Structures are given as C-alpha cells and as structure tokens.
Structure 1
Amino acid sequence: MPKTRKPQQERSRQTVAAIVEAGLLCIQQHGVEGTTTRKIADAAGIGVGSLYEYFSNKDDVFAAIHEHVVNEIVGVVKPLIPELVKQSPEDATRALLYAFRDFLRRRDNLYLTYATQMGHFTPGHYLKPVNHVLAELTIQFMMHHPELSRLPNIPVMSYIMIHGGIATVIRHLSERSPAFDFDALTEGLARMVQYNIEGDINRLES
C-alpha cells in the first residue's frame, strides 16, 4: 500500500490532486521510465520537497494515479447503468464501448496513454471498484432481462466479454493506422456479444 499522506485541508487536497494530474502528464510526455519525482513536481508547480510531504517516492505517486483513474472509470460507468440495463445486450455493448473510448480520449488521449503504459501494472486491489461497478451492471442487467438468467456461465462470459472488449478498445485506439475504424470495431464486438447469447439460448432450447 502507498505511504501517501491523507490530505485533511482543502489546500492539501488540491496539492495532491495537482501532483496526480502532473504525474499523468509526465507519463504522457516522458513515459513511465522517464518520469521522475522532480519532473512531476515541476509539472505540478511545486518544489520536490513539497511533493515528498505527501508521497514517499515515485511509486507512491503512481499508486495514487492508479486510484484516480479507477475512480474516473467508475464515474463514467455508474451513471450509465440505469440506461444501459434498458437496452438490448448489443446496444448496451455499443454504448459502453463508446463511453469508454470517449473516456480514454479525454485531454488529448491522457487516459489512453495511461492505459497503454501503466494499465498492466495496476495492482489488482486498485481494480476492485471497477470490478464492483461492472458486477453491479451485470446484476441489474440480468434483473431487467430475466430471460437471460438461464444462460450458462454468466460470470465467466461477462468477465471475458467486458475485459476482452476493454483490452481490444485500448489496442485499437493505440494503433497509428488501424485496419478499420472504431465504429466497425464496436459493431463487431456488439454482434459478438449478441451472437454468443443467441447461440447459448438456441443450444438450451434444442
């Protein structure tokens, strides 16, 4: 766990937020290896000594960045749940993929850079809020579509579809010259979800 000092006052919270923001910008500009606490402090407009009042080292800043990005993702997905659950699996998949794309593209691809350079380094315990909100989405979706409750291996297939889709989106957006556009990718993933569901239903009824 990071040794981050918990900011109690508004000014301290603003300083921590500025350091996290600066860390993201440094990763975008210098890469993970090229990012240092001094560069982060310079980007945040503070002295490196001030940074060390809140973070012991660069890894602690990275831990705070992981937590920040995860909270941002939850903030994107959670408000969408009431509308997503009313849609078909195919349409809900499209909507979720476009929302995730828009999130990654924020601030001149700031979060996409994080995902490509640091996403695979994110410790599992930081991802718990994301897993929780995705589980909430799955449960509420099943409640609104009870006909799907008889599908086999729902947790497994939901995990594969969601996390596989996220990884595919990140890979596609990271390519300089993708073979097809994002709309085509989204359509393919949405149809894959729908075909998988229809195939399982047909097998159950045969």
Structure 2
Amino acid sequence: MATRKPRQSRSKVTVDTIIEAGFIAVASNGTSGTTTRHIADIAGVSVGSLYEYFKNKEEIYDAMARTFVKEVLDMVKELTPIIIEQELEPLFEMIFYTFRDLLTRDDDRYLICLRYATELKYEKYIGQIEMALMEVLMKYMIRHPRYLKVNNLSVTAYISINSSIFNVARHLILPNPQISFDEMVKGLSTMIISYIEAELAKAGN
C-alpha cells in the first residue's frame, strides 16, 4: 500500500507528531527496542494511521534524520549574519555552544539519538551540514579577505569543520568525559585557530 503525502495541514501535523514520537521512543528504547506500536502510542494515533504515512519504522527514522539535519541547517542560517562579523575565537565558541544547546534541548533528545546515528542513517545527510558550514566559511573569508590567502584553503576548511562539530557531538555523547565542555571548547578553538594561522604563515602572510 502506498503511503500518503502530507499535503493538508492536518496531515502534516500528524506526520510531525509521529516524527516527534519517534525521537521520544528512540530516546527511551533505542532503535532496536523501538516498534511502530511504541511510536504510534506516543503519537496518540493508531498503528493503522501511522502506516498511512510511513511503511515501517525505518522510514520514520529517515524522517527523523532529515528533521535533525534541517534543525542544524536552520541554526547555521540564523547564525550566519552574526558569524561573519566575528573574530575567529568567538566565532568558533558561538558555533560550539549553539550546537550544544540544539543537541541538549528537549531532554537531550537529539543527543541521545546521535548515539544511534548509524542505525538512524544520519550519515546520508551529514554532507548537507558540511556543505552549509563550508558556505558560511567562504562568506566569512570574503568578509575577512586575509583568510582567503590561507594555504590549502579547501583542506583547512574541511579540517576546521570536521574537527569542530563532530568533536562537540562526541564530547557530549561520552558518559564521563575527562575534561569539561568549556575546556574542550577553549582547547578546540585554540587548536583550530593555531592551525589556520600556521597555514597563513606558510602562505607568507
């Protein structure tokens, strides 16, 4: 049976409610322990109604991944006008703390689900986040043309992005990290800035 597309506002509300219920169910039961019955009960709909929109729980997981990525992209878009006016250190700190706040809101729902990132197929959409952050970084460098002279610009951008966001997520997921989040932010910001400055020096600036 083909699933329905949520064209009407009521249908969209139902779909959004099911997706939200998926986050709650996975946070409570993990991916393998979650069933469509769990999700339907939390959403307050019948299993039959759930199947009108999703063929199985894997389709719900995919919708959850897309919802998470959209939240991150919206965060990046909202921050962009502020980011491009910052110096490097407050820039990275702002990104790290805002990303943490996103992951830990609603009782750590996104953060808990990140522990099941492989099962939830988040890797299918991570490229969208990397691309969005790359665009912000390029806008920043246009606003601060000194950094356009960085040696191996694309490599520097890739390392800066991937060593930041994913380290923040990993630190938050760890049950007993050896350092505090504030210490991690300070150290990571210093490391990335030092790397960028070193690449600038190689370029003779």
TM-score range, shorter chain: over 0.9
Q: Within 5 Å, give how 1:8-157 maps onto structure 2.
A: 8-118=7-117, 121-122=120-121, 124-157=123-156
Give CA deviations for 1:86-129 in whole Å, capped at 9, x if unaligned: 11222211110000000010111101011121257535553344
Aligned residues: 204
Give CA deviations for 1:107-155 in whole Å, capped at 9, x if unaligned: 1110101112125753555334423321220111111110111112222
Counterpart of 1:197 in structure 2 is 196
- Percent of aligned pairs sharing the same letter: 37
Which moves more between the two structures, 184-193 or 170-179? Answer: 170-179
Q: 1:133 to 1:120 in 2, by over 3 A?
A: farther
Task: Write the distance in 1 (CA, Å) between the matches of 2:132 and 2:106.
Answer: 24
Task: Write the distance in 2 (CA, Å) between the matches of 1:159 and 1:34.
Answer: 36
SS of corresponding position for 1:34: coil
Question: Are the equivalent residues in 2 in contact too, given 1:4–1:54 (CA < 8 A)?
Answer: yes
Task: Write the distance in 2 (CA, Å) between the matches of 1:201 and 1:171.
Answer: 29
Q: 1:158 to 1:71 in 2, by over 3 A?
A: same
List gaps (5 residues or longer) in structure 2: none
Task: Write the distance in 2 (CA, Å) between the matches of 1:180 and 1:125.
Answer: 31
Task: Write the distance in 2 (CA, Å) between the matches of 1:137 and 1:4.
Answer: 37
Structure 1 letter corresponding to 2:185? T
Counterpart of 2:6 in structure 1 is 7
Q: How far apart are residue 180 of structure 1 and its match?
A: 1.5
SS of corresponding position for 1:79: helix
Cα RMSD, aligned residues only: 1.8
List gaps (5 residues or longer) in structure 1: none
